[in-house]
Amino acid sequence: MEQNNSLLTVKDLVKHFDISGGLLDQLALESGRIVRKKTTVKAVNDVSFTIMPQETLGVVGESGCGKSTLARAVLGLYPPNSGEIHYQDQRIDNLNPKQMLPFRKKMQMIFQDPYASLNPRMTVKKILEEPVYFHNKAINAQAAEDKVAEVMRQVGVDPAWSGRYPHEFSGGQRQRISIARALMVDPEFIVADEPVSALDVSIQAQILNLLMEAREKRGLTYMFITHDLSVVKHISTRVAVMYLGTICELAPTQTLYAQPGHPYTRALLSAIPELGVQKPKHLKLKGEVPTPINLPSGCVFHGRCIYANDRCTQEIPRLMRLESGAYVACHGVEEKRI
């Protein structure tokens, strides 16, 4: 896991949210005494991974498992509670906004909802110009305009429309504009937070192709967050599977789909519907995803895992390298009983 030429390294990242509200909301009565109770959502717990230059790391998991929180923490939108984030060899999680500026140019984000990610009061031209002017104060108006036109053409939106407002575009076009905004500063690394899940299936393919094309042309590195397993198979070089704020498996795409290691990954992959299969062999999980407010002890998956034993309920498994090149956090796999 330790590779020095990695683009992004995340070490033991923890992000908890305090949702206990004001002082009055925190007070609770416990066995006759008033106590102050804090409620925290443990969104991301001890997550470590690296992203190599020009690879696409897919992050999958069901809703509420901390994918988006992880993405925002990586970009410094949420300051992590503990852990380290390194970009190349520079630690970036403890920088102030000013020190962070050079990295803002290298890391960009594409958002899920194309209807919320563009400011409705700004024209497309203004939206796209903003990052250019912000990171290059000396640029003249003509150069900025040319840059806007060039990037708009690259993402397949006619530059003649740059004077229009976002509501005049369709969802797919808006997502293209959103991608254009991310590309305006010529970034190296893009975090895409479910960039296609709000779009029609027919548009999804176009946007995915656009993203892959941009990767080839610009040598981009993606962290691609999604809950769609077919999308992730299509676009990723490696896949991280998240469950309840932890990574349970991290493997090259082919390996993961061919021989999933972690019981959760197996159940997840078995849920992909296949054409022509009469009796699908779904691995049905019992119970529901526990709340991230009260995390289960030990392995977070133990309550739903058919292979769980005493060790799973007590000891938190760490990611461990298998012979196939996959990393799996599971005691059962480690003990070779699964």
Partner 1 sequence: MKSWNRFKNSYLLYSFKRDPVAILSFCVLSILVIISILAPVITPYNTYDSATFDIMDAETPPAWMEGGSKSFLLGTDIQGRDLLSTMIYGLRVSLLIGVGAVLFQALVGILVGLLSGYLGGKLDALLMRIADIQFSIPYLIVAIFTSAIFKLAFGVGRYAELAVPLLIIIIGMSEWPKYARTVRASVLGEKNKEYVEAARVIGISRWHIMYRHVLPNTLTPVLVISTIQVAEAVMSEAALSFLGLGMPITKPSLGSLIRAGFEYIFSGSWWITFFPGALLVIFILVILLLGDWLRDVLNPKLYKG
Task: Provide the binding-site residues for partner 1, judged by CB under 8 A.
Answer: 22, 72, 75, 77, 97, 100-101, 104-105, 107-109, 111-113, 116-121, 130-131, 134-135, 163, 178, 181, 185
Residue 338 CB, nearest approach to partner 1 (Å): 40
Nearest alpha carbon to residue 241 among 58, 72, 12, 4: 58
241 touches 249 (CB < 8 A)? yes
157 touches 125 (CB < 8 A)? no
- Between 193 and 249, name the residue whose CB sits nearer to partner 1: 193
Residue 135 CB, nearest approach to partner 1 (Å): 7
315 touches 301 (CB < 8 A)? no
Residue 96 CB, nearest approach to partner 1 (Å): 11
- Between 67 and 331, name the residue whose CB sits nearer to partner 1: 67
- Between 26 and 237, name the residue whose CB sits nearer to partner 1: 26
State the Cα–Cα distance between residues 287 and 303, nearest whole angstrom.
8
- Between 113 and 228, name the residue whose CB sits nearer to partner 1: 113
CA angle, 323 then 236 then 334, to 5°: 25
Identify the DSSP state of 319: P
- Between 69 and 253, name the residue whose CB sits nearer to partner 1: 69
Nearest alpha carbon to residue 72 among 41, 27, 42, 107: 107
Residue 100 CB, nearest approach to partner 1 (Å): 7
Residue 23 CB, nearest approach to partner 1 (Å): 10
Residue 159 burial class via C-beta count within 10 angstroms: exposed 0-12, middle 13-18, buried 19 and up: middle
- Between 135 and 311, name the residue whose CB sits nearer to partner 1: 135
- Between 129 and 249, name the residue whose CB sits nearer to partner 1: 129
Beta-carbon contacts of residue 3 (< 8 Å; ≥ 6 apart): 50, 52
Residue 17 CB, nearest approach to partner 1 (Å): 13
Residue 226 CB, nearest approach to partner 1 (Å): 16
State the Cα–Cα distance between residues 189 and 42, nearest whole angstrom.
27
203 touches 172 (CB < 8 A)? yes
Looking up tokens 């941009």 gives: 214
Q: What are phi and psi of 212, to 5 degrees?
A: -70, -35
Residue 117 CB, nearest approach to partner 1 (Å): 4
34 touches 27 (CB < 8 A)? yes
- Between 112 and 265, name the residue whose CB sits nearer to partner 1: 112
